[in-house]
Amino acid sequence: MRTRLSIQSASFSSLKRAEGEKLPGMWSLLVNMYKTEGGFPALYRGIIPTVAGVAPYVGLNFMVYEMARTKFTPDGQKDPSALGKLGAGAVSGAVAQTITYPFDVLRRRFQINTMSGMGYQYSGIFDAVSSIVRTEGVRGMYKGIVPNLLKVAPSMASSWLSFEMARDMLMGKWNSGFL
C-alpha cells in the first residue's frame, strides 16, 4: 500500500485523471487492489524478495556493526564513545543496505507490477532480474539507493546507540556521561 500511495500521483496523472478527480486513499486503493488484481495475494506482491533479503540484511548489519565498533573504539578502551557507536551503526546499516538493496528494488517492482502505465511486467524473480539487467544494466538493481542510504544510515546509527544504551542501563553499566 505504501509503495502504491507514494507513486500514484505521478502514475495517476499519466492515466489522464479527470479535472478535480481525487486520488484514491488507502482504503479505496486496498479494496480496488483486492477486487481487480487477484484478491488477497495481490496485497502481498513482492513478499518473496522481501523475505529473501531480510536474513542477509540483518546478518550483515550485526557482523559489520561488530567489526566497525572495534574500529571506532579508541586504543585502551573497551567500548567506543556514543559518537563511535553512532558511526559504527551508520556504517553497518549502509553496508548491509548496499549489499541487499537489489531485493528492495525487486520488491518495489513487484508491488507495482500490475499498475498500467508503469512499464514493469515480470513473470517471476528471474525474469525480473534478467529484464532489469538487460534493459537498465546492473545499475538498475540499485536505482534509488542514495535516498535510501540517507534514510538507513542515520536510522541504524540511532538504533544501535539506543540498543547499547538500553543494554548498559539494564545491566547496571549506565554511564551518564555517555558522550
Write down all domains in the chain, each with its CATH number in brackets.
46-170 (1.50.40.10)
Supply the pTM of this predicted model: 0.75
What amino acid is encoded at 158 in this protein?
S
The 10s digit of each residue's pLDDT in 16-55 is 555 566 666 778 777 777 777 777 777 777 788 888 899 9
Rounded to whole angstroms, the Cα distance separating 178 from 153 reads: 21
CB of 95 within 8 A of CB of 64? Answer: yes
User: Does the structure show a pLDDT above 60 at 173?
Assistant: yes
Mean pLDDT of the chain: 83
How many CB atoms sit inside 10 A of residue 96's CB?
A: 23
User: Does the structure show a pLDDT above 70 at 11?
Assistant: no
User: To which residue does cell 505521478 refer?
Assistant: 10
The radius of gyration of the chain's CA atoms, rounded to the nearest angstrom, is 21
Q: What is the sign, positive or negative, of the torsion defined by CA atoms of 47, 48, 51, 54?
A: negative
Instruction: Specify whether the backbone of 170 is left (phi greater than 0), alpha (psi in -120 to 50) or beta.
Output: alpha
Mean pLDDT of 79-94: 96
Residue bearing the bigger pLDDT, 33 or 75: 75
Q: For residue 122, what is its C-alpha cell? A: 515480470
Give me the pLDDT at residue 59, please: 97
Residue 175's pLDDT band (boundaries 50, 70, 90)? low
User: Does the structure show a pLDDT above 70 at 93?
Assistant: yes
